[in-house]
Chain A
Protein backbone atom coordinates (compact mmCIF):
# COMPACT_ATOMS: atom_id res chain seq x y z
CA UNK A 1 0.00 0.00 0.00
CA UNK A 2 1.35 3.41 -0.85
CA UNK A 3 2.00 5.92 1.89
CA UNK A 4 -0.56 8.35 0.40
CA UNK A 5 -3.29 5.73 0.81
CA UNK A 6 -2.61 4.98 4.48
CA UNK A 7 -2.19 8.63 5.41
CA UNK A 8 -5.15 9.89 7.44
CA UNK A 9 -4.66 13.54 6.59
CA UNK A 10 -3.92 12.78 2.94
CA UNK A 11 -0.89 15.05 3.14
CA UNK A 12 1.78 12.43 3.71
CA UNK A 13 4.21 12.07 0.85
CA UNK A 14 6.77 9.46 -0.02
CA UNK A 15 10.22 10.99 0.21
CA UNK A 16 12.89 9.90 -2.20
CA UNK A 17 16.62 10.30 -2.17
CA UNK A 18 17.21 9.94 -5.89
CA UNK A 19 19.96 11.80 -7.68
CA UNK A 20 18.90 15.13 -9.11
CA UNK A 21 18.89 15.45 -12.85
CA UNK A 22 21.13 18.01 -14.53
CA UNK A 23 18.29 20.51 -14.89
CA UNK A 24 17.36 20.15 -11.24
CA UNK A 25 20.97 20.59 -10.17
CA UNK A 26 21.06 23.92 -12.01
CA UNK A 27 18.41 25.22 -9.59
CA UNK A 28 17.40 27.80 -12.18
CA UNK A 29 13.90 26.45 -12.63
CA UNK A 30 13.42 26.16 -8.90
CA UNK A 31 14.68 29.70 -8.32
CA UNK A 32 12.40 31.15 -10.98
CA UNK A 33 9.47 29.28 -9.45
CA UNK A 34 10.38 30.69 -6.06
CA UNK A 35 10.62 34.21 -7.47
CA UNK A 36 7.15 33.83 -8.95
CA UNK A 37 5.78 32.78 -5.57
CA UNK A 38 7.32 35.73 -3.76
CA UNK A 39 6.20 38.24 -6.38
CA UNK A 40 2.65 36.99 -5.95
CA UNK A 41 2.81 38.00 -2.31
CA UNK A 42 3.67 41.54 -3.36
CA UNK A 43 0.10 41.94 -4.54
CA UNK A 44 -1.79 40.05 -1.86
CA UNK A 45 -3.77 41.84 0.81
CA UNK A 46 -1.60 42.84 3.75
CA UNK A 47 -2.50 41.28 7.07
CA UNK A 48 -1.16 44.08 9.23
CA UNK A 49 -3.57 45.80 11.63
CA UNK A 50 -2.48 49.40 12.22
CA UNK A 51 -2.81 49.06 15.93
CA UNK A 52 -3.54 52.35 17.66
CA UNK A 53 -5.90 53.47 14.89
CA UNK A 54 -7.31 50.06 14.06
CA UNK A 55 -8.21 47.54 16.72
CA UNK A 56 -8.62 43.88 16.04
CA UNK A 57 -12.19 42.70 16.43
CA UNK A 58 -12.74 40.71 19.59
CA UNK A 59 -14.09 37.20 19.47
CA UNK A 60 -17.76 36.87 20.54
CA UNK A 61 -16.70 34.64 23.41
CA UNK A 62 -14.02 37.07 24.57
CA UNK A 63 -13.56 37.14 28.34
CA UNK A 64 -12.17 40.31 29.87
CA UNK A 65 -11.88 41.63 33.39
CA UNK A 66 -14.05 40.36 36.17
CA UNK A 67 -16.92 42.21 37.75
CA UNK A 68 -18.88 41.49 40.91
CA UNK A 69 -22.47 42.26 40.06
CA UNK A 70 -25.16 44.13 41.93
CA UNK A 71 -28.88 43.47 41.59
CA UNK A 72 -31.53 45.99 40.53
CA UNK A 73 -31.61 47.60 43.94
CA UNK A 74 -27.84 48.02 43.96
CA UNK A 75 -27.15 45.24 46.39
CA UNK A 76 -24.14 43.00 45.92
CA UNK A 77 -25.05 39.51 44.73
CA UNK A 78 -22.07 37.72 46.21
CA UNK A 79 -22.72 35.55 49.22
CA UNK A 80 -19.15 34.39 49.72
CA UNK A 81 -19.92 30.74 49.22
CA UNK A 82 -16.40 30.17 47.89
CA UNK A 83 -17.43 28.08 44.87
CA UNK A 84 -15.59 30.41 42.54
CA UNK A 85 -12.40 30.06 44.55
CA UNK A 86 -12.86 26.31 44.57
CA UNK A 87 -13.42 26.10 40.84
CA UNK A 88 -10.55 28.38 39.98
CA UNK A 89 -7.83 26.26 38.30
CA UNK A 90 -5.21 28.95 38.87
CA UNK A 91 -6.19 29.48 42.50
CA UNK A 92 -6.38 33.19 41.95
CA UNK A 93 -9.43 33.97 44.08
CA UNK A 94 -9.51 34.44 47.84
CA UNK A 95 -12.32 35.81 49.98
CA UNK A 96 -13.41 36.36 53.53
CA UNK A 97 -17.05 36.05 54.52
CA UNK A 98 -18.89 38.25 56.96
CA UNK A 99 -22.44 38.31 58.36
CA UNK A 100 -24.77 41.06 57.26
CA UNK A 101 -26.10 43.36 60.00
CA UNK A 102 -29.53 44.98 59.93
CA UNK A 103 -28.20 48.33 58.80
CA UNK A 104 -26.44 46.73 55.82
CA UNK A 105 -29.60 45.22 54.29
CA UNK A 106 -29.54 47.72 51.45
CA UNK A 107 -25.94 46.82 50.61
CA UNK A 108 -25.96 43.04 50.36
CA UNK A 109 -28.65 40.76 49.00
CA UNK A 110 -27.90 37.67 51.06
CA UNK A 111 -27.36 37.33 54.77
CA UNK A 112 -23.72 36.49 54.26
CA UNK A 113 -21.42 38.57 52.15
CA UNK A 114 -17.78 38.83 51.15
CA UNK A 115 -15.98 41.38 53.26
CA UNK A 116 -12.78 40.76 51.35
CA UNK A 117 -12.82 39.48 47.77
CA UNK A 118 -9.53 39.42 45.93
CA UNK A 119 -8.45 38.14 42.53
CA UNK A 120 -4.76 37.90 41.77
CA UNK A 121 -4.57 39.09 38.20
CA UNK A 122 -1.09 37.63 37.76
CA UNK A 123 -2.53 34.17 38.39
CA UNK A 124 -5.86 34.52 36.67
CA UNK A 125 -6.05 32.81 33.28
CA UNK A 126 -9.45 34.26 32.32
CA UNK A 127 -10.96 30.80 31.83
CA UNK A 128 -14.36 31.87 33.14
CA UNK A 129 -14.88 28.86 35.42
CA UNK A 130 -15.70 31.17 38.35
CA UNK A 131 -18.52 32.63 36.30
CA UNK A 132 -19.83 29.14 35.56
CA UNK A 133 -19.56 28.01 39.18
CA UNK A 134 -21.33 31.01 40.72
CA UNK A 135 -24.83 30.08 41.94
CA UNK A 136 -25.81 33.72 42.60
CA UNK A 137 -24.81 35.22 39.24
CA UNK A 138 -22.40 37.41 41.19
CA UNK A 139 -19.14 37.18 39.27
CA UNK A 140 -18.94 37.87 35.55
CA UNK A 141 -16.17 38.19 33.04
CA UNK A 142 -16.95 41.35 31.11
CA UNK A 143 -16.15 42.11 27.47
CA UNK A 144 -14.09 45.09 28.60
CA UNK A 145 -11.09 45.66 26.33
CA UNK A 146 -9.15 47.24 29.18
CA UNK A 147 -6.41 44.83 30.13
CA UNK A 148 -4.72 44.69 33.50
CA UNK A 149 -2.50 47.78 33.66
CA UNK A 150 1.21 47.29 34.16
CA UNK A 151 2.84 48.14 37.45
CA UNK A 152 6.10 47.79 39.34
CA UNK A 153 4.51 46.31 42.48
CA UNK A 154 3.10 42.81 42.74
CA UNK A 155 0.50 44.07 45.19
CA UNK A 156 -1.00 46.24 42.47
CA UNK A 157 -2.11 43.14 40.60
CA UNK A 158 -4.25 41.83 43.45
CA UNK A 159 -7.62 43.36 42.65
CA UNK A 160 -9.85 43.91 45.67
CA UNK A 161 -13.49 44.77 45.90
CA UNK A 162 -12.73 48.42 45.11
CA UNK A 163 -11.83 47.43 41.57
CA UNK A 164 -14.11 44.45 41.10
CA UNK A 165 -17.56 45.49 42.33
CA UNK A 166 -19.83 46.99 39.72
CA UNK A 167 -20.16 50.77 40.21
CA UNK A 168 -23.51 51.76 41.74
CA UNK A 169 -24.59 54.07 38.92
CA UNK A 170 -24.19 51.30 36.36
CA UNK A 171 -26.35 49.03 38.53
CA UNK A 172 -29.01 51.75 38.65
CA UNK A 173 -28.85 52.23 34.92
CA UNK A 174 -29.25 48.52 34.37
CA UNK A 175 -32.29 48.48 36.64
CA UNK A 176 -33.89 51.36 34.68
CA UNK A 177 -33.27 49.57 31.41
CA UNK A 178 -34.82 46.42 32.77
CA UNK A 179 -37.91 48.30 33.98
CA UNK A 180 -38.26 50.05 30.64
CA UNK A 181 -38.29 46.72 28.89
Chain B
Protein backbone atom coordinates (compact mmCIF):
# COMPACT_ATOMS: atom_id res chain seq x y z
CA UNK B 1 0.00 0.00 0.00
CA UNK B 2 1.52 3.30 -0.97
CA UNK B 3 1.49 6.32 1.26
CA UNK B 4 -0.93 8.34 -0.88
CA UNK B 5 -3.73 5.89 -0.09
CA UNK B 6 -3.02 6.24 3.62
CA UNK B 7 -3.15 10.03 3.36
CA UNK B 8 -6.29 9.91 1.23
CA UNK B 9 -8.11 7.57 3.60
CA UNK B 10 -7.00 9.52 6.68
CA UNK B 11 -8.35 12.74 5.18
CA UNK B 12 -11.66 11.05 4.34
CA UNK B 13 -11.92 9.52 7.82
CA UNK B 14 -11.21 12.89 9.45
CA UNK B 15 -13.73 14.69 7.27
CA UNK B 16 -16.42 12.05 7.80
CA UNK B 17 -15.80 12.13 11.55
CA UNK B 18 -16.03 15.90 11.62
CA UNK B 19 -19.20 15.93 9.50
CA UNK B 20 -20.86 13.30 11.69
CA UNK B 21 -20.01 15.33 14.78
CA UNK B 22 -21.21 18.60 13.30
CA UNK B 23 -24.40 17.01 12.00
CA UNK B 24 -25.10 15.46 15.41
CA UNK B 25 -24.37 18.79 17.07
CA UNK B 26 -26.69 20.71 14.84
CA UNK B 27 -29.34 17.99 15.05
CA UNK B 28 -29.75 18.99 18.69
CA UNK B 29 -30.44 22.54 17.60
CA UNK B 30 -32.64 21.36 14.75
CA UNK B 31 -34.59 19.18 17.16
CA UNK B 32 -35.35 22.15 19.38
CA UNK B 33 -36.13 24.40 16.45
CA UNK B 34 -38.43 21.90 14.76
CA UNK B 35 -40.14 21.17 18.05
CA UNK B 36 -40.72 24.88 18.51
CA UNK B 37 -41.96 25.44 14.97
CA UNK B 38 -44.38 22.56 15.14
CA UNK B 39 -45.73 24.00 18.37
CA UNK B 40 -46.11 27.52 16.93
CA UNK B 41 -43.08 28.82 18.82
CA UNK B 42 -39.82 30.30 17.58
CA UNK B 43 -37.27 28.21 19.47
CA UNK B 44 -33.79 29.09 20.73
CA UNK B 45 -32.60 32.22 18.96
CA UNK B 46 -30.46 34.10 21.49
CA UNK B 47 -27.08 32.37 21.16
CA UNK B 48 -25.62 33.70 17.93
CA UNK B 49 -27.67 34.64 14.91
CA UNK B 50 -30.89 32.64 14.95
CA UNK B 51 -29.50 30.41 17.70
CA UNK B 52 -26.64 29.11 15.54
CA UNK B 53 -24.28 28.91 18.54
CA UNK B 54 -26.78 27.12 20.74
CA UNK B 55 -25.11 23.67 20.45
CA UNK B 56 -21.80 25.19 21.57
CA UNK B 57 -23.51 26.80 24.54
CA UNK B 58 -25.18 23.50 25.39
CA UNK B 59 -21.85 21.68 25.19
CA UNK B 60 -20.17 24.30 27.35
CA UNK B 61 -22.93 23.97 29.91
CA UNK B 62 -22.59 20.18 29.99
CA UNK B 63 -18.82 20.46 30.45
CA UNK B 64 -19.19 22.83 33.38
CA UNK B 65 -21.67 20.57 35.20
CA UNK B 66 -20.72 18.57 38.25
CA UNK B 67 -19.35 15.11 37.48
CA UNK B 68 -21.65 12.95 39.55
CA UNK B 69 -21.12 9.28 40.28
CA UNK B 70 -23.62 7.03 42.01
CA UNK B 71 -22.42 4.72 44.77
CA UNK B 72 -21.96 1.71 42.55
CA UNK B 73 -19.72 -1.32 42.53
CA UNK B 74 -19.44 -1.16 38.75
CA UNK B 75 -17.48 2.07 38.49
CA UNK B 76 -15.62 0.85 35.41
CA UNK B 77 -18.81 -0.10 33.59
CA UNK B 78 -20.31 3.23 34.53
CA UNK B 79 -17.53 4.93 32.57
CA UNK B 80 -17.51 2.44 29.71
CA UNK B 81 -21.26 2.80 28.97
CA UNK B 82 -21.23 6.24 27.34
CA UNK B 83 -17.95 5.45 25.57
CA UNK B 84 -19.46 2.38 23.89
CA UNK B 85 -22.60 4.28 22.93
CA UNK B 86 -20.55 7.05 21.39
CA UNK B 87 -17.97 4.93 19.56
CA UNK B 88 -20.52 2.56 18.03
CA UNK B 89 -22.54 5.55 16.86
CA UNK B 90 -19.48 6.94 15.08
CA UNK B 91 -18.08 3.63 13.79
CA UNK B 92 -20.99 3.04 11.42
CA UNK B 93 -20.06 6.00 9.24
CA UNK B 94 -16.95 4.15 8.00
CA UNK B 95 -18.69 2.14 5.29
CA UNK B 96 -21.08 4.73 3.94
CA UNK B 97 -20.48 5.86 0.35
CA UNK B 98 -20.73 9.62 0.56
CA UNK B 99 -20.37 10.14 -3.14
CA UNK B 100 -19.15 8.63 -6.38
CA UNK B 101 -15.51 8.79 -7.53
CA UNK B 102 -13.68 12.08 -7.56
CA UNK B 103 -11.00 12.48 -10.22
CA UNK B 104 -8.24 14.56 -8.67
CA UNK B 105 -4.43 14.69 -9.20
CA UNK B 106 -4.69 12.05 -11.90
CA UNK B 107 -6.25 9.39 -9.67
CA UNK B 108 -9.70 8.24 -8.66
CA UNK B 109 -10.67 9.00 -5.10
CA UNK B 110 -13.51 6.98 -3.63
CA UNK B 111 -15.51 8.91 -1.08
CA UNK B 112 -15.73 6.11 1.42
CA UNK B 113 -13.53 5.33 4.39
CA UNK B 114 -13.55 1.64 3.53
CA UNK B 115 -15.38 -0.36 0.90
CA UNK B 116 -15.88 -3.73 2.55
CA UNK B 117 -17.97 -6.42 0.86
CA UNK B 118 -20.23 -6.99 3.88
CA UNK B 119 -20.84 -3.33 4.64
CA UNK B 120 -24.52 -3.81 5.37
CA UNK B 121 -23.83 -6.66 7.81
CA UNK B 122 -21.19 -4.47 9.44
CA UNK B 123 -23.69 -1.62 9.86
CA UNK B 124 -26.33 -3.86 11.42
CA UNK B 125 -23.73 -5.50 13.64
CA UNK B 126 -22.32 -2.22 14.93
CA UNK B 127 -25.76 -0.73 15.40
CA UNK B 128 -26.83 -3.62 17.58
CA UNK B 129 -23.67 -3.37 19.64
CA UNK B 130 -24.87 0.15 20.41
CA UNK B 131 -27.44 -1.29 22.79
CA UNK B 132 -24.57 -2.45 25.01
CA UNK B 133 -23.80 1.18 25.78
CA UNK B 134 -27.34 1.67 27.04
CA UNK B 135 -27.45 -1.72 28.74
CA UNK B 136 -24.13 -1.32 30.58
CA UNK B 137 -24.87 2.26 31.56
CA UNK B 138 -28.29 1.36 32.91
CA UNK B 139 -26.92 -1.64 34.80
CA UNK B 140 -23.96 0.17 36.31
CA UNK B 141 -26.09 3.09 37.49
CA UNK B 142 -27.43 0.98 40.37
CA UNK B 143 -30.83 2.58 40.00
CA UNK B 144 -34.07 0.86 39.26
CA UNK B 145 -35.27 3.48 36.77
CA UNK B 146 -32.03 3.16 34.85
CA UNK B 147 -32.21 -0.62 34.89
CA UNK B 148 -35.82 -0.52 33.74
CA UNK B 149 -34.88 1.75 30.84
CA UNK B 150 -31.95 -0.48 29.94
CA UNK B 151 -34.06 -3.64 30.00
CA UNK B 152 -36.67 -2.00 27.85
CA UNK B 153 -34.04 -0.79 25.40
CA UNK B 154 -32.50 -4.23 25.15
CA UNK B 155 -35.76 -6.08 24.58
CA UNK B 156 -36.89 -3.47 22.09
CA UNK B 157 -33.63 -3.71 20.15
CA UNK B 158 -33.76 -7.50 20.02
CA UNK B 159 -37.37 -7.51 18.81
CA UNK B 160 -36.85 -4.94 16.10
CA UNK B 161 -33.45 -6.20 14.99
CA UNK B 162 -35.15 -9.35 13.69
CA UNK B 163 -37.74 -7.47 11.64
CA UNK B 164 -35.05 -5.10 10.37
CA UNK B 165 -32.81 -7.93 9.24
CA UNK B 166 -35.69 -9.73 7.54
CA UNK B 167 -36.80 -6.57 5.74
CA UNK B 168 -33.26 -6.10 4.45
CA UNK B 169 -33.10 -9.68 3.20
CA UNK B 170 -35.85 -8.89 0.69
CA UNK B 171 -33.77 -5.96 -0.49
CA UNK B 172 -30.64 -8.07 -0.70
CA UNK B 173 -32.41 -10.69 -2.81
CA UNK B 174 -32.98 -7.89 -5.30
CA UNK B 175 -29.56 -6.23 -5.21
CA UNK B 176 -27.52 -9.40 -4.77
CA UNK B 177 -24.78 -7.63 -2.85
CA UNK B 178 -24.04 -6.47 0.70
CA UNK B 179 -21.66 -3.71 -0.33
CA UNK B 180 -23.24 -0.30 0.19
CA UNK B 181 -21.19 1.13 -2.68
CA UNK B 182 -22.64 -1.37 -5.12
CA UNK B 183 -26.15 -0.93 -3.75
CA UNK B 184 -25.78 2.81 -4.27
CA UNK B 185 -24.41 2.31 -7.76
CA UNK B 186 -27.37 0.10 -8.66
CA UNK B 187 -29.82 2.96 -8.23
CA UNK B 188 -28.95 5.45 -10.99
CA UNK B 189 -31.28 8.34 -11.75
CA UNK B 190 -34.65 7.71 -10.19
CA UNK B 191 -34.35 3.89 -10.01
CA UNK B 192 -34.47 4.03 -6.27
CA UNK B 193 -35.00 0.84 -4.31
CA UNK B 194 -37.96 2.38 -2.49
CA UNK B 195 -40.04 2.07 -5.66
CA UNK B 196 -39.22 -1.63 -5.97
CA UNK B 197 -39.34 -2.51 -2.28
CA UNK B 198 -41.85 -0.15 -0.63
CA UNK B 199 -42.86 -2.66 2.04
CA UNK B 200 -39.26 -3.37 2.89
CA UNK B 201 -38.62 0.37 3.19
CA UNK B 202 -41.65 0.79 5.40
CA UNK B 203 -40.61 -1.96 7.81
CA UNK B 204 -37.03 -0.71 7.81
CA UNK B 205 -38.18 2.81 8.63
CA UNK B 206 -40.23 1.67 11.61
CA UNK B 207 -37.37 -0.49 12.84
CA UNK B 208 -34.93 2.39 12.41
CA UNK B 209 -37.13 4.47 14.69
CA UNK B 210 -37.02 1.68 17.26
CA UNK B 211 -33.28 1.14 16.88
CA UNK B 212 -32.47 4.79 17.49
CA UNK B 213 -34.82 4.94 20.49
CA UNK B 214 -36.83 7.76 19.02
CA UNK B 215 -40.47 8.53 19.65
CA UNK B 216 -42.85 6.67 19.32
CA UNK B 217 -40.41 3.97 20.53
CA UNK B 218 -38.53 5.96 23.17
CA UNK B 219 -39.54 3.71 26.02
CA UNK B 220 -35.93 3.40 27.10
CA UNK B 221 -35.79 6.98 28.29
CA UNK B 222 -39.40 8.05 28.57
CA UNK B 223 -39.25 11.08 30.83
CA UNK B 224 -42.76 10.76 32.16
CA UNK B 225 -42.27 7.26 33.51
CA UNK B 226 -38.58 6.62 34.10
CA UNK B 227 -37.18 10.12 34.79
CA UNK B 228 -34.46 9.76 32.15
CA UNK B 229 -34.30 6.01 31.71
CA UNK B 230 -30.78 4.65 31.37
CA UNK B 231 -29.10 8.05 31.73
CA UNK B 232 -30.88 9.07 34.93
CA UNK B 233 -27.68 8.85 36.99
CA UNK B 234 -25.42 10.40 34.42
CA UNK B 235 -24.35 14.02 34.50
CA UNK B 236 -21.89 16.35 32.82
CA UNK B 237 -20.25 15.18 29.60
CA UNK B 238 -21.05 11.49 30.16
CA UNK B 239 -24.69 12.47 29.86
CA UNK B 240 -23.69 14.62 26.89
CA UNK B 241 -22.13 11.56 25.25
CA UNK B 242 -25.37 9.61 25.54
CA UNK B 243 -27.41 12.45 24.10
CA UNK B 244 -24.83 13.00 21.40
CA UNK B 245 -24.72 9.32 20.52
CA UNK B 246 -28.47 9.36 20.06
CA UNK B 247 -28.23 12.17 17.53
CA UNK B 248 -25.24 10.62 15.81
CA UNK B 249 -27.26 7.41 15.52
CA UNK B 250 -30.12 9.36 14.05
CA UNK B 251 -27.81 10.87 11.45
CA UNK B 252 -26.30 7.50 10.57
CA UNK B 253 -29.62 5.71 10.28
CA UNK B 254 -30.97 8.53 8.11
CA UNK B 255 -27.91 8.04 5.94
CA UNK B 256 -28.47 4.28 5.74
CA UNK B 257 -32.09 4.83 4.72
CA UNK B 258 -31.01 7.31 2.07
CA UNK B 259 -28.33 4.96 0.74
CA UNK B 260 -30.38 1.77 0.80
CA UNK B 261 -33.71 3.05 -0.45
CA UNK B 262 -33.35 6.53 -1.87
CA UNK B 263 -30.50 6.15 -4.26
CA UNK B 264 -27.71 7.62 -2.09
CA UNK B 265 -25.84 10.24 -4.12
CA UNK B 266 -27.75 9.49 -7.35
CA UNK B 267 -30.01 12.08 -8.85
CA UNK B 268 -31.86 12.33 -12.14
CA UNK B 269 -29.64 13.87 -14.79
CA UNK B 270 -26.39 12.70 -13.24
CA UNK B 271 -25.07 11.35 -16.56
CA UNK B 272 -25.80 14.68 -18.20
CA UNK B 273 -23.84 16.44 -15.47
CA UNK B 274 -20.91 14.03 -15.85
CA UNK B 275 -20.81 14.52 -19.61
CA UNK B 276 -21.13 18.29 -19.67
CA UNK B 277 -19.61 19.54 -16.43
CA UNK B 278 -17.14 16.82 -15.55
CA UNK B 279 -16.98 14.12 -12.89
CA UNK B 280 -16.02 16.34 -10.00
CA UNK B 281 -18.86 18.85 -10.29
CA UNK B 282 -21.39 16.06 -10.82
CA UNK B 283 -20.02 14.47 -7.69
CA UNK B 284 -20.29 17.64 -5.61
CA UNK B 285 -23.95 17.89 -6.60
CA UNK B 286 -24.32 14.20 -5.69
CA UNK B 287 -22.95 14.82 -2.19
CA UNK B 288 -25.30 17.76 -1.77
CA UNK B 289 -28.22 15.58 -2.91
CA UNK B 290 -27.26 12.86 -0.44
CA UNK B 291 -27.14 15.39 2.39
CA UNK B 292 -30.48 16.83 1.35
CA UNK B 293 -31.96 13.33 1.60
CA UNK B 294 -30.30 12.79 5.00
CA UNK B 295 -31.57 16.12 6.29
CA UNK B 296 -35.06 15.27 5.16
CA UNK B 297 -34.98 12.03 7.11
CA UNK B 298 -33.58 13.74 10.19
CA UNK B 299 -36.44 16.20 9.88
CA UNK B 300 -38.82 13.29 9.45
CA UNK B 301 -37.59 11.78 12.71
CA UNK B 302 -38.36 15.04 14.49
CA UNK B 303 -41.62 15.55 12.67
CA UNK B 304 -42.83 12.13 13.82
CA UNK B 305 -41.60 12.81 17.35
CA UNK B 306 -43.98 15.75 17.72
CA UNK B 307 -46.90 13.92 16.10
CA UNK B 308 -47.23 10.44 17.57
CA UNK B 309 -47.43 9.66 21.27
CA UNK B 310 -45.29 6.93 22.80
CA UNK B 311 -46.30 3.28 22.38
CA UNK B 312 -47.26 1.24 25.38
CA UNK B 313 -44.82 -1.55 26.10
CA UNK B 314 -47.12 -4.40 25.10
CA UNK B 315 -48.15 -2.55 21.93
CA UNK B 316 -44.49 -2.20 21.07
CA UNK B 317 -43.87 -5.93 21.45
CA UNK B 318 -47.08 -6.74 19.58
CA UNK B 319 -46.05 -4.54 16.67
CA UNK B 320 -42.56 -5.98 16.54
CA UNK B 321 -43.25 -9.69 16.85
CA UNK B 322 -46.74 -10.13 15.51
CA UNK B 323 -46.97 -7.53 12.77
CA UNK B 324 -43.57 -6.55 11.39
CA UNK B 325 -41.88 -9.97 11.39
CA UNK B 326 -44.71 -11.82 9.57
CA UNK B 327 -45.01 -8.86 7.22
CA UNK B 328 -41.34 -8.97 6.31
CA UNK B 329 -41.46 -12.73 5.81
CA UNK B 330 -44.38 -12.23 3.41
CA UNK B 331 -42.31 -9.57 1.69
CA UNK B 332 -39.43 -12.03 1.27
CA UNK B 333 -41.79 -14.61 -0.25
CA UNK B 334 -43.26 -12.08 -2.68
CA UNK B 335 -39.80 -10.90 -3.69
CA UNK B 336 -38.72 -14.48 -4.21
CA UNK B 337 -41.71 -15.22 -6.42
CA UNK B 338 -41.09 -12.11 -8.51
CA UNK B 339 -37.41 -12.93 -8.95
CA UNK B 340 -38.05 -16.56 -9.90
CA UNK B 341 -41.18 -15.90 -11.95
CA UNK B 342 -39.70 -17.28 -15.16
CA UNK B 343 -38.55 -20.52 -13.58
CA UNK B 344 -41.88 -20.87 -11.80
CA UNK B 345 -43.75 -20.32 -15.05
CA UNK B 346 -41.64 -22.98 -16.73
CA UNK B 347 -42.02 -25.36 -13.81
CA UNK B 348 -45.81 -25.16 -13.76
CA UNK B 349 -45.93 -25.03 -17.54
CA UNK B 350 -47.71 -21.69 -18.00
Contacts and interface: CB of A to CB of B under 8 A. Distances in A.
A9 interface: no
Nearest to A40: B38
Contact of B304 (A35, A45, A50): A35
B307 A41 contact: no
A179 interface: no
Given A35-B303, A38-B303, A39-B303, A44 B40 contact: yes
B104 interface: no
B296 interface: no
A154 interface: no
B41 A31 contact: no
Contacts of B306: 38
Interface string B249-284: 000000000000000000000000000000000000
25 contacts: A31-B307, A34-B307, A34-B308, A35-B303, A35-B304, A35-B307, A37-B307, A38-B306, A39-B38, A39-B303, A41-B37, A41-B38, A41-B39, A41-B40, A42-B37, A42-B38, A44-B40, A45-B40, A46-B40, A46-B41, A46-B42, A47-B40, A48-B41, A48-B42, A50-B42
B304 to A, nearest CB: 7
Interface of A: 31, 34-35, 37-39, 41-42, 44-48, 50
Interface residues of B, number: 12
Contacts of B39: 41
A126 to B, nearest CB: 29
B42 A31 contact: no
Nearest to B202: A28
Contacts of B38: 38-39, 41-42
Contacts of A37: 307
Interface of B: 34, 37-42, 303-304, 306-308
Contacts of B34: 42
Contacts of B304: 35
A31 B303 CA distance: 11
A55 B306 CA distance: 29
A46 B43 CA distance: 10
8 nearest interchain CB pairs? A48-B42, A34-B307, A38-B307, A42-B37, A38-B38, A46-B42, A41-B38, A47-B40
Nearest to B305: A38
A52 to B, nearest CB: 10
A31 B37 contact: no
A136 B39 CA distance: 51
Contacts of A38: 38, 303, 306-307
Contacts of A47: 40-41
B271 to A, nearest CB: 34
A35 B307 CA distance: 6
Contacts of B42: 46, 48, 50
A37 B40 CA distance: 12
A50 B37 CA distance: 15
Residue from B34, B40, B304 with most neighbouring chain A CB atoms (10 Å): B40
A34 B40 CA distance: 16
B84 to A, nearest CB: 33
A44 B37 CA distance: 9
A56 B39 CA distance: 20
Contacts of A31: 307-308
Nearest to A26: B323
A45 B41 CA distance: 9
Nearest to A47: B40
A45 B39 CA distance: 10
Contacts of A34: 307-308
Q: Considering residues B37, B303, B304, which has the most beta carbons from chain A within 10 angstroms of its beta carbon? A: B37
A48 B46 CA distance: 14
B163 to A, nearest CB: 16
A46 B35 CA distance: 12
Contacts of A50: 42
Nearest to A48: B42
Contacts of B37: 41-42, 46
Nearest to B37: A42
A46 B42 CA distance: 6
A24 to B, nearest CB: 14
A48 B37 CA distance: 10
A121 to B, nearest CB: 31
A81 B307 CA distance: 61
A159 B189 CA distance: 77
A40 to B, nearest CB: 9
Given A37-B307, A38-B306, 14 more contacts: A31-B307, A31-B308, A35-B303, A38-B38, A38-B307, A39-B303, A41-B38, A42-B34, A42-B37, A42-B38, A44-B40, A45-B40, A46-B42, A50-B42
